[in-house]
A and B are shown apart, each in its own frame.
Chain A
Amino acid sequence: MKSFLMRSYTFLIFFFLYAPILVLMLFSFNESKSRGHWGGFTLKWYVELFQDSQIVSALYYTVTIAIIASIVATIIGTLAAIGLTNMRGLPKVITLNLTYLPLLSPDIVMGISLMLLFIFVKLNLGFLTMLLAHITFSLPFVIFSVLPKLRQISEDTYNAALDLGATPFEAYKKVILPQISPGIVTGFLLAFTMSIDDFVVSFFTTGSGVSNLAISIYSMARRGINPKINALLTLMFICIMLLLVFVNYRMSKEDNKERRVDN
């Protein structure tokens, strides 16, 4: 009896979570444009999707910004994390709290405050401003992915490399970097997904015809239902799934490694 209740409840909640997404995906194959009835199977929305210049340019900006933003954030963030582990006392507390700040402040406040900054310094809202905003909200994710890895490694290996005649730079490159690289990759992937997924901050920091996929969905949804969005979302869902499987695979591999070391 108890397990029957548990199973039914689990089913109901998962139904609630998945039904809308499944319906959306199903209707991306619907021939008829009005979504009340099923007009037969078609792939035409997937074709029309890539002929829609607005969506194609949004896709281009989304991916370009995500790649550049996550690379820059990974570099600055990794350097900061290395520096942070060598800090003590008040400077460390200040830096850590500064890193929590973007995570804790509401998206909308981050969006409008960055918009104020860009307009204040007379930077035209567009590609560059959106990129700068994306780097800003990605940075904490990189730092919090790299920091735990840095805490795990001991200073002795680094000192040993120095004793054996390596320059500090060589020691970092050959000893520290390989050990923290899983954290760097995780940070990069987190930054990338955050950037791909962002709507609110992008919405306020972009302008002059530059928009990402989320902004396009928003404006299309407001204008009225469009089967092309369903096709777009189905593709995005598949991409996210693939990325998630990849990240999960990496994490479980790392977990196993750590467990082996612990034993």
Chain B
Amino acid sequence: MKRKFLTTPYMLWMLIFTIIPLILVFYFSFFESGPDGIKFTTEYIERVFEPIYLKVIFRSFALAVISTIFCLVLGYPMAMILASRELKRRDFLIVLFVVPMWMNFLARTYAWMTLLENNGIINQILMALSLPTISILYTDKAVILGMVYNFLPFMVLPIYSVLSKIDRSIIEAAEDLGANPLRTFFKVIFPLSLPGVLSGIIMVFMPAVTTFVISRLLGGGQYMLIGNLIEQQFLTTGDWGFGSSLSLILMLILLLTMGIMSKTDKDREGGRFF
């Protein structure tokens, strides 16, 4: 079957619509066309490292880290329950778990806007119970809540897929040798599930760092994460050089984090989704 030329349209497509656009991002980060032709500049890259922008980058990473930790703490027990053999009707529960993910993530974020409003449903219920009301919409807390809500399945599914493949006899062996459940968990189950945990972390952390929608809707118009900063450069300020530089730095940091993570994740078992 010598049909290599069939890939040609695809390769051309990817060259034009993936490689060249990335080269353009690179180009706009480092080159500037002035009245006397195109010249090299590091001005845009340097601006990324100004304190106000570093603060935004730092906040994006901090919020993403916090959300990832919440997802892990909430998601790991859920994955264990889904993978446990005592569970009846497991397939049904898993489909039920995946369904919200198929709903547009804007819709899910919007749903939280309506719940968290000052006279929203949560506060109505709290008032009816004569409890103090909360006002967390347009704060860090609402943004973290939105991230955890949107990305929790990305943490649960990879962990679940690894946990459900663990050989039961290994766990039984640990029990036979006298390990209590806690010891069995920390010495056997958790280490075996690490590949799933790592891909879960990557899959939550990546979209959490780069989002600009959750922060805009739940954080309010003035709320700035690196995604909002990039969006602003391209759609409001029209500063392509700075926007490209921000994107470039963001991609570099993400590639580095993922590179370090996947080095630990030697067998790529955990990467599978379904």
Contacts and interface: CB of A to CB of B under 8 A. Distances in A.
A116 B21 contact: yes
Contacts of B243: 112
A47 B244 CA distance: 44
21 contacts: A6-B86, A9-B81, A13-B78, A14-B97, A20-B114, A21-B111, A35-B114, A80-B11, A83-B4, A86-B3, A87-B4, A95-B11, A101-B18, A106-B206, A108-B230, A109-B25, A112-B247, A113-B21, A116-B25, A136-B18, A240-B103
Interface stretch (A53-61, A177-185, A193-201): A193-201
B173 interface: no
B149 A20 contact: yes
B6 A200 contact: no
Q: Is the interface of A mostly helix, strand, loop or mixed?
A: helix
A85 B10 CA distance: 14
Given A24-B114, A106-B206, A241-B99, A83 B3 contact: yes
A106 B119 contact: no
Interface in B97-122: 97-100, 102-115, 117, 119-121
B7 interface: yes
Nearest to A232: B107
Contacts of A120: 24
A105 B22 CA distance: 10
Nearest to A118: B21
Interface of A: 3, 6, 9-10, 13-14, 16-21, 23-24, 27, 34-36, 76-77, 79-80, 82-87, 91, 95, 98-99, 101-102, 104-110, 112-117, 120, 132-133, 135-136, 139, 143, 155, 158, 168, 193, 197, 199-200, 204, 213-214, 217-218, 221-222, 225, 229, 233, 236-237, 240-241, 243-244, 248
B114 A23 contact: yes
Interface of B: 1-11, 13-14, 16-22, 24-25, 28, 74, 77-78, 81, 84, 86-87, 93, 95-100, 102-115, 117, 119-121, 124, 149, 152-153, 206-207, 209-210, 212-213, 216-217, 221, 227, 230-231, 234-235, 240, 243-244, 247, 250-251, 254, 258
Given A108-B210, A217-B104, A244-B102, A76 B13 contact: yes
Contact of A16 (B2, B5, B149): B149
Contacts of A229: 110
What 10 A-B pairs have minimum CB-CB distances, sorted nearest first? A80-B10, A113-B21, A83-B6, A83-B7, A20-B111, A106-B210, A79-B6, A136-B17, A117-B21, A116-B24
A199 B24 CA distance: 22
A225 B113 contact: yes
Contact of A117 (B6, B20, B221): B20
A115 B22 CA distance: 11
A80 B6 contact: yes
Nearest to A217: B106
Nearest to B119: A36
B239 to A, nearest CB: 12
A79 B4 CA distance: 9
A217 B103 contact: no
A20 B99 contact: no
Contacts of A79: 6-7, 9-10
Contacts of A16: 149, 152
Contacts of B206: 106
Given A233-B110, A236-B104, A86 B251 contact: no
Contact of A86 (B2, B9, B106, B250): B2
Given A20-B111, A108-B212, A221-B110, A237 B18 contact: no
B107 A113 contact: no
Contacts of A113: 21-22, 24-25, 247
Contacts of A17: 97, 100, 149, 152-153
Contacts of A116: 21, 24-25, 28, 240, 244
A115 B231 CA distance: 12
Nearest to B153: A17
Contacts of B117: 35, 225
B104 A95 contact: no
